[in-house]
Amino acid sequence: MSRMLGTVSMGVRAPIIRQGDDMVKIVTDCILDAMKYDGLQPRNRDIVAMTEAIVARAQGNYATVDNIASDVRAKLGGETVGVIFPILSRNRFAICLRGIAKGCKKVVLMLSYPSDEVGNHLIDLDMLDEKGVNPYSDVLSEEKYRELFGYTVHPFTGVDYVAYYKKLVEDCGAECEVIFANDCRAVLKHTKNVINCDIHTRVRTKRLLRAAGAERVCGLDDILTTSIDGSGWNARYGLLGSNKATEETVKLFPRDCQPVVDAIQEKLLKATGKKIFYINTHYPLNLDGCKKSSTLVEERIAALNTNKYPVIVVGDFNQTLSSGAFEGFKQSMRDARTYADECYSEDNKNIYTYNAFGDASAVRNKVDHIWYSHPALDAKYYETLTQEIRKYGEVDYLSDHYPITAVISF
């Protein structure tokens, strides 16, 4: 007998998640209500996905600028601190930098160039060639950088991150010296106390700094590993993975997630007799990193999904469908936006999902996707939940991305 129906991916509507909410109960109840009222029929190997953001929100895993400052002061001494290799992001790092600055008297801010770790450019590579600068060996002062390259701004955000980060530090009452280098050890001429803010290379950076004579070295993953004055924390990742929540707080990466997903699986299995498998991810900004992330996701699916359950992969992928980052996905999966039988409207189907909190200067694209196994599953409906369609109350935006939803069936 031929199998005619393929993979189905769907979004299940849930209430807005607030601190203290029981995610196990909410997710389970939403799935069971969808079964009761909308005819959802779970099957073995189904996947239920939650974003890390709603888990952290329910946990109340937040920290303030002052919490960060207290931990930095305790771990780095409160005097001159080197802050090296941060990413250039108002959402991902600016609030962290404010906390660091409030925890010391002087910040030596060392930026990698011509771009940060995830591909945000300070300057163009061709300008390095034109000026005869070797980024692998040359250490530039802020004065030399300005003399060579002037006042450059990010092509998408229009922000001069050198000036922006320096002002953030100074507004917090700390002195700020900016240098540019790609060898982490260059900062040790200015201070022996260092916070390395790189992500993928952080272990190597710490090793090199300590071997070169650094006295105190912390990565972002070493800050807020325990609660500070009642704050949130993450024992494994600290400030890594944090996002701006308000001008004074960050939302940390959630902790103790495995018990949550195990409990949801157990409750759904008892209620339905079906097993589900579900993946959420968040890709880096640069295309090469996204391609590598897709390869990694495919490898992890192959390694973990040994029972060959239908797969749903959701998240902020930071790339459009035409970017070339999803060629492997397209061999066995479809995206709900393109293939859904119905959508709220054609305009809604084509609207960007990155809204940049309404910043008209930002480049806004469709970078959030719902992928599902095909032909095991099929998309029946797709919608981007903009403020105009799904009222958020008094707030204009729930996030710098619009939520998306899809109805998926077997």
Q: What is the DSSP string of 95-136?
A: HHHHHHHHTSSEEEEEE-SSB-TTS-BSS-HHHHHHHT--TT
Give the domain range for residue 128. Answer: 62-251
Report in angstroms the alpha-carbon separations of 42 from 84, 226, 312. Answer: 49, 39, 13
DSSP lists the bridge partners of residue 176 as: 107
Q: Last residue of a domain, which of 222, 251, 280?
A: 251
Q: Which of 278, 290, 306 has the alpha carbon at shortest distance from 371?
A: 278
Q: Are residues 384 and 267 both part of a single domain?
A: yes
Q: Are residues 285 and 386 both part of a single domain?
A: yes
**List of the chain residues with pLDDT < 50:** 1
Q: Are residues 119 and 230 both part of a single domain?
A: yes
Q: Are residues 269 and 401 both part of a single domain?
A: yes
Q: Are residues 240 and 273 both part of a single domain?
A: no
pLDDT at 275: 60
82 in any annotated domain: yes
C-alpha angle 61-64-70 in degrees, rounded to nearest 5: 110
- Rounded to an integer, what distance in angstroms lies between the CA atom of residue 114 and that of residue 126? 10
Q: Are residues 273 and 393 both part of a single domain?
A: yes
Give the list of residues 6+ apart from residue 305 with CB closer than 8 angstroms, or none.
277, 311
Q: Last residue of a domain, which of 251, 267, 298?
A: 251
8 in any annotated domain: no
13 in any annotated domain: no
pLDDT at 350: 87
pTM tops 0.75: no
Place of tokens 């939403």: 30
Beta strands in 206-332 (DSSP E): 216-219, 243-244, 249-251, 279-282, 312-316
Q: Are residues 30 and 76 both part of a single domain?
A: no
Q: Are residues 287 and 235 both part of a single domain?
A: no
What are phi and psi for residue 138, nearest 5 degrees? -80, 130
Q: Are residues 67 and 43 both part of a single domain?
A: no
pLDDT at 1: 43
Place of tokens 């719902």: 370
Q: Last residue of a domain, which of 236, 251, 266?
A: 251
Place of tokens 């002087």: 106
11 in any annotated domain: no
Which stretches of 150-241 are DSSP H helices?
161-171, 202-211
89 in any annotated domain: yes
131 in any annotated domain: yes
Q: Both tokens of residue 7?
A: 């993979």
Q: Are residues 298 and 334 both part of a single domain?
A: yes
DSSP 17: P
Q: Taking a C-beta distance cutoff of 8 angstroms, is the pair 389, 348 a contact?
A: yes
pLDDT at 276: 63
Number of domains, the chain: 2
130 burial type by CB count under 10 A (0-12 exposed, 13-18 middle, 19+ buried)? exposed
Q: Are residues 239 and 271 both part of a single domain?
A: no
Give the list of residues 6+ apart from residue 289 with CB closer than 8 angstroms, or none.
118, 119, 283
Q: Which of 173, 148, 178, 174 has the alpha carbon at shortest distance from 88?
A: 178
Q: Are residues 89 and 28 both part of a single domain?
A: no
pLDDT at 387: 80
18 in any annotated domain: no
330 in any annotated domain: yes
